[in-house]
């Protein structure tokens, strides 16, 4: 029987990762979510666990640890997953120069990467558009899940393996140092973790207002399952992705490439568009995305943005069937001061984990372990 109790508010990936870490630490854990099932940013993403986007050191190590936890949980929970890797493609000499620099840097760091010629890519990956292709950087470290399946199955896994109790459709309305008020009841706990993404502003509006946080809305799409069980292999990324991830900033030539993009592809830069595609276990292709920042991003998708995404996608990829299955948007909190996340304690025994931006799937399991490791043993 666990001697101490912890409550987690929010059943997205940050909340699930925190519940797991607390249970392993020795706490009895209960999770509250206002929805009957998760519908937020945790199910509205690529499902990419993406070590290549994290800089060397603590962040990369956290991503690798998170990936390994994902693999363990997926096997135990019967969740489809594939360590498909990633392939960043170059169609201009300045893009290839950046990829060559990254290959040298990443190889020195011990990452599993390969600089590929056009001939190698066209021989192995028929999802790549070979027209004007120069080469690419292949990484074998990235893991793909379908976030809708994964986030739906993880609660049952946590309940079975770690006896985590879930309260669905139960909104938390107030929090004190030792109590959570939800469903017209008071629930006492030794520790309380707020992992509710942008929603935590409703519980601690004063704290939220003072934090360097904004919201980011992204637009995404999905193509139908590909015929004949065709698989595309690694997730594919166009050149614009090179200016999106922190790990790529180490390339000496990146600033010059970014300046070219700003001059020649201004509409894409203005909408924060960088285009990637990944395939789930059903054979469907997830495509995106854009980035609209602000305290109140609009609820409606802009067709012009989706059109730009699809037009750029066609410059580096080709599929057996590119029929659109669905489109959506997601919103997540984003730290504006350059930090990778927010971890703070607004009251004794109350912690807030927030602001992982678009890296929640990549970093949450590792971050939660690190944070919980500093707590007293349950």
Does the pLDDT of residue 174 top 90, yes or no? yes
Same domain, 350 and 301: no
CA–CA dist 277, 297 (Å, integer): 24
Examine the domain organization and report whether 105 and 171 are in the same domain.
no
User: Are 344 and 371 contained in the same domain?
Assistant: yes
Segment 221-248 shows an average pLDDT of 97
> Would residue 57 count as lying in a domain?
yes
- The answer to whether residue 90 is domain-embedded is no
Please check whether residues 222 and 242 belong to one and the same domain. Answer: yes
Beta bridge partners of 245: none
Least confident window among 166-170, 173-177, 341-345, 351-355 = 173-177
Shared domain for 64 and 181, answered yes or no, is yes
Q: Is residue 91 part of a domain?
A: no
Q: Are residues 165 and 291 in the same domain?
A: no
Are 229 and 198 contained in the same domain?
no
The verdict on 72 and 10 lying in the same domain is: yes
Residue 251 falls inside a structural domain:
yes
Confidence category of residue 176, pLDDT binned at 50, 70, 90? confident
Angle at 241 between CA 47 and CA 82, to 5 degrees: 30
Domain containing residue 198: CATH number: 3.50.50.60
DSSP E strands in 176-323: the ranges are 179-182, 185-188, 191-194, 213-223, 235-237, 276-279, 285-288, 292-294
Number of residues written out for the chain: 378
Tens-digit pLDDT profile for residues 314-326 = 999 999 999 999 9
Assigned token pair, 273: 């568009």
The vertex-145 CA angle with 141 and 147, nearest 5°, equals 135
Whether 41 shows a pLDDT value over 60: the answer reads yes
Per-residue pLDDT of 89-124, as tens digits, reads 999 999 999 999 999 999 999 999 999 999 999 999
**Residue 164 and residue 162: Cα distance in Å, rounded?**
5
Say what the pLDDT of residue 377 is.
59
Of 19, 15, 367, 360, the residue nearest 160 (C-alpha): 19
Of all residues in the chain, what percent carry a pLDDT higher than 70? Answer: 98
- Asked if 273 and 327 sit in the same domain, the reply is yes
CA gap 174, 180 in Å, rounded: 6
Percentage of the chain surpassing pLDDT 90? 91
**Total structural domains within the chain:** 2
Residue 175 lies in a domain: yes
Instruction: Specify whether the CB–CB gap between 311 and 350 falls below 8 A.
Output: no
Examine the domain organization and report whether 244 and 111 are in the same domain. Answer: yes
pLDDT of residue 2: 59
198 & 344 share domain: yes
How far is 204 from 373, CA to CA, in rounded Å?
25
Q: Which of 329, 354, 325, 314 is nearest to 200 (CA)?
A: 354
Lowest mean pLDDT among 28-42, 122-136, 193-207: 193-207
Asked whether residue 92 is domain-assigned, the answer is no
In a domain, 16, yes or no: yes
What is the chain's mean pLDDT, rounded?
95
The predicted-structure confidence for 329-373, as pLDDT tens digits, reads as follows 999 999 999 999 999 999 999 999 999 988 999 999 999 999 999
70-74, 180-184, 303-307, 374-378: which has the minimum mean pLDDT?
374-378
State how far the Cα of 198 lies from the Cα of 58, in Å rounded to an integer: 25
CATH assignment of the domain containing 127: 3.30.9.10
Is there a single domain that holds both residue 80 and residue 129? no
Average pLDDT over residues 55-84: 98
Phi then psi for residue 173, to 5 deg, are -105, -20
Is 23 a domain residue? yes
What is the extent of the structural domain holding 166?
1-85+141-211+339-378
Residue that terminates a domain, selected from 335, 354, 369: 335
């Amino acid at each position: 029987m666990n001697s101490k109790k912890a409550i987690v508010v929010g059943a997205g990936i940050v909340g699930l990762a925190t519940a797991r870490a607390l249970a392993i630490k020795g706490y009895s854990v209960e999770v509250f979510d206002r929805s009957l099932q998760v519908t937020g940013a945790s199910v509205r993403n690529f499902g990419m666990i993406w070590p290549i986007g994290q800089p060397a050191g603590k962040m990369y190590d956290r991503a690798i640890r998170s990936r390994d936890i994902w693999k363990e949980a997926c096997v135990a929970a019967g969740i489809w997953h594939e360590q498909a890797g990633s392939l960043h493609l170059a169609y201009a000499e300045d893009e290839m120069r950046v990829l060559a620099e990254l290959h040298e840097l990443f190889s020195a760091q011990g990452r599993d990467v390969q600089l590929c010629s056009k001939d190698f890519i066209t021989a192995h990956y028929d999802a790549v558009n070979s027209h004007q292709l120069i080469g690419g950087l292949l990484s074998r470290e990235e893991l793909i899940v379908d976030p809708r399946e994964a986030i739906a199955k993880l609660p049952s896994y946590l309940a079975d393996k770690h006896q985590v109790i879930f309260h669905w459709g139960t909104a938390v309305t107030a929090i004190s140092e030792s109590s959570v008020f939800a469903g017209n009841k008071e629930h006492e706990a030794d520790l309380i973790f707020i992992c509710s993404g942008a929603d935590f502003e409703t519980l601690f509006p004063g704290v939220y207002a003072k934090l360097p946080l904004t919201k980011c809305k992204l637009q995404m799409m999905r193509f139908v399952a590909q015929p004949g069980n065709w698989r595309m292999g690694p997730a594919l990324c166009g050149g614009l992705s090179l200016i999106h991830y922190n790990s790529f900033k180490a390339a000496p030539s990146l600033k010059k490439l970014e300046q070219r993009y700003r001059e020649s592809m201004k509409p894409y830069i203005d909408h924060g568009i960088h285009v990637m595609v990944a395939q789930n276990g059903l054979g469907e292709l997830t495509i995106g995305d854009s980035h609209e920042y602000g305290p109140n991003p609009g609820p409606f998708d802009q067709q012009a943005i989706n059109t730009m995404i699809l037009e750029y996608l066609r410059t580096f990829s080709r599929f057996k069937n590119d029929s659109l299955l669905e489109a959506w948007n997601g919103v997540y909190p984003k730290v504006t001061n350059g930090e990778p996340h927010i971890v703070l304690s607004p009251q004794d025994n109350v912690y807030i984990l927030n602001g992982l931006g678009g890296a929640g799937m990549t970093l949450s399991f590792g971050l939660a372990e690190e944070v919980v490791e500093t707590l007293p043993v349950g």
